[in-house]
Structure 1
Amino acid sequence: MAPRRTQRDIAERLGLHVTTVSKALRGDERIAQATRERIRREAENIGYVPDPALSSLIAYRQRKSTAYRASIGWIFNHDRQTDMSIFPGYADILRGARERARRLGYAVDEFWLHEDGLSEKRLAAILDTRHIAGVVIAPQMRRGTPLHLPWHRLAAVSIGHTLLEPELPVVATDHFRAMTSLLDTLRKRDYRRIGLALWREDNERMDRRAQSAFLAYSEGLDVTVALYEQLERERFLDWVNKHELDAVVVRDATPLDWLTQAGYRVPEQIGVAAYTLPGEHARLSGIYHNHARVGELAVDRLAQMLQFGERGLPECPDRLLVSASWREGGTVRLSPAMTHPYDNKGRFTEELG
């Protein structure tokens, strides 16, 4: 078996110090780009591959030997005054990211674009001055808003499906599977006429994946989707009555209050489930999106890119989807009601405002 090629081999062949080679292979921008490229070409030529055990040992020693922490940037493409309540679980995403970054030896520096004159150009200069080579792009207010940074110098990961330009590696909830899991649960508990009241902005931010899963479900259910900009009590109740729904999938607890005030018995007469619970423990039954895990994995992916010197826009960005899980509240019955034959009448989408 041929001996493992080392960084020292590369250094000797190129007449460089081994420290220069090590930094270049990690993508350290203090090494000239031409030198980095020459070192990477030589590494490929001689068949050098990193030793994962040695890399782990070096990372451990670095954490033990110094209190210094490199930083990663956490970029909000909106100002600090934005109402973050429209992003359920966002605080959990950031909490998970911070905890994982701390364990990996990184600090997290937050940047709010458009606040106090922070332009994309000024942010790029700040990242360069602070030697921040890795950034996480937080979910954006509006899906499709482009972001212009010197990507050739950065390792970058995006959370969710709101950043379309440029295309970056993504970590997000598996919205399609989450909705399928929710419908599986309702079907097993003998709910058959199910409506989804879906806020348009949520629909766009989820890349329409939850709506697609809902309409594609084919396990003997009669399903209908109502899209809305602003949900109104009377229109919502009329929609429930029109389709004779025995379960509704909603964003928050407001429709639950409307139903109980209108005399519906929940969960016996009608079940209510949330497609995104605000926390792991809530009075609503529904899907919890494991937001903290999304934050953790975003930092993991970024740390991996930094470790291997990956910079710039990838030719084929990867997407890591995080599973969601059902949480019992008190708004979906725990066992099936009396079953009865039922024909699937179809699937519909309509407007609720």
Structure 2
Amino acid sequence: MDPDPATPRPSLRDIGKMLGVSHVTVSLALRDNPRISREVREKVKKAAEELGYQPDPMLAALANYRKGKATAPITAAIAWINAWSPAEQLRSHKEFDAYWRGASKAAAKFGYRLEEFRLGDGYTPERLHQILSARGITGILLPPQRPHPDWGSFPWEKYSVVRFGRSLRQPETHVVTADQVANTLLAFRKMRERGYQRIGFVTYEGDLFERGHLFEAGFLMAQRSVPERQRLPICVIGNAPGSGRAEAILKWKEKYKPDAIFTDQGNLPELLKRAGIRVPEDIALAVTTVLDAEADAGIDQHPEEIGRVGFLTLNSLINDGAKGIPAIPRQNLVAGSWVDGGMLPDRKL
């Protein structure tokens, strides 16, 4: 039943007076903050319903505006776990370093700071838990790891956790990552628009498994939009050393005659050079991420935005008191954008 416009709108203070609690407690209870007991939350919600309480959308918008204008004082830490060896390799990847920057900036606005904890060098998963527990840290961000770490008996059920990317198979938490399928469809369309008709996809066998075949899936979907004679088989590079990989690419090129390559392998320009294939004179090239590749055309995956969304997702879990491995994991996908470059000249000009 809609409230009578002539009747004053019930407020948080009205609900508080009815129950004998503060308006702050009422506000937290209506947002299901875990600091308020379940019993009190249910009483508050019932009282709000009886009084016909509805949030004022204009006040909510003003509060959000004010929140966005100011940075909260930093009072707590969020753990960023680094299991790389050596640990410095992780943020030597520009993409992963941008995850850190995006998450750090977002965390600061909510009163958190991002702090790196390194596994190895005497720090076991069990020791890590002891440190986090002693520090009162309950939120964890997991960047991509290589190789896959042994988490031992780490008690994930005590933490709110979000991971970046798909390289980690465990723990199966909520994920924030690039929309690899949509990005591949975008790249294929942009390459076609620039006059390329025989577009091939080159990948590494190990990465297909690690990343979940999603670039491959996007490429196969994109091929359905072109005549069958222009659908080239994917070139999957095996575990051969550099010279063997270069030879495999050369054989694939000579057999299928692509005029452009889309790839998730940042070092492909070097392999093409070893094979005697010139870019862009002999073949054009675009990559799944221009940030860490030796190529200038392809997709900007907006990793800083991925980092920001990763923290916002974690913050929502912390506020909801959601810990451990979720029964239904979510995937938050961030769309990329196209970047033109000299390795993929416009053939229509």
TM-score strictly above 0.5: yes
- The 5-angstrom pairing of residues 258-269 of structure 1 reads 259=272, 264=277, 266-269=279-282
Q: Percent identity?
A: 25
- SS class of match (1:273): strand
- SS class of match (1:224): coil
Task: Name the one with the larger helix percent.
Answer: 2
For residue 201 of structure 2, what is the aligned residue in structure 1? 196
What is the CA-CA distance between 1:298 and the residue it aligns to? 0.6
For residue 345 of structure 1, what is the aligned residue in structure 2? none
CA contact (8 A) 1:277 1:287 kept: yes
What is the CA-CA distance between 1:94 and the residue it aligns to? 1.1
| Distance of 1:317 and 1:163 partners within structure 2 | 14
| Distance of 1:269 and 1:163 partners within structure 2 | 37
Unaligned stretches of 5+ in structure 2?
A: none
> Structure 2-normalised TM-score?
0.77
What is the CA-CA distance between 1:272 and the residue it aligns to? 1.2
For residue 108 of structure 2, what is the aligned residue in structure 1? 102
Matched, 1:289 2:301: yes
CA contact (8 A) 2:125 2:151 kept: no
Partner AA of 2:285 in structure 1: V
Identify the match of residue 26 of structure 1 among 17, 20, 33: 33
Identify the match of residue 250 of structure 1 among 260, 263, 279: 263
CA contact (8 A) 1:95 1:292 kept: yes
How well do the aligned residues superpose, as a CA RMSD in angstroms?
3.7
Change (3 A) 1:47 1:75: farther
Change (3 A) 1:308 1:51: farther
> Structure 1-normalised TM-score?
0.76
| Distance of 2:176 and 2:321 partners within structure 1 | 20
Unaligned stretches of 5+ in structure 1?
A: 29-34, 338-353
Identify the match of residue 160 of structure 2 among 149, 155, 164: 155
Partner AA of 2:107 in structure 1: A
How many residues in Structure 1 have an aligned counterpart in Structure 2? 328
For residue 130 of structure 2, what is the aligned residue in structure 1? 125
Change (3 A) 1:88 1:103: same
| Distance of 1:188 and 1:171 partners within structure 2 | 30
Greater shift, 125-134 or 249-258, is seen at 249-258
| Distance of 2:266 and 2:166 partners within structure 1 | 25
| Distance of 1:55 and 1:131 partners within structure 2 | 32
Identify the match of residue 331 of structure 2 among 301, 306, 319: 319
CA contact (8 A) 1:143 1:204 kept: no
Matched, 1:184 2:189: yes
For residue 40 of structure 1, what is the aligned residue in structure 2? 41
Change (3 A) 1:137 1:86: same
Greater shift, 149-158 or 254-263, is seen at 254-263
CA contact (8 A) 2:194 2:346 kept: yes
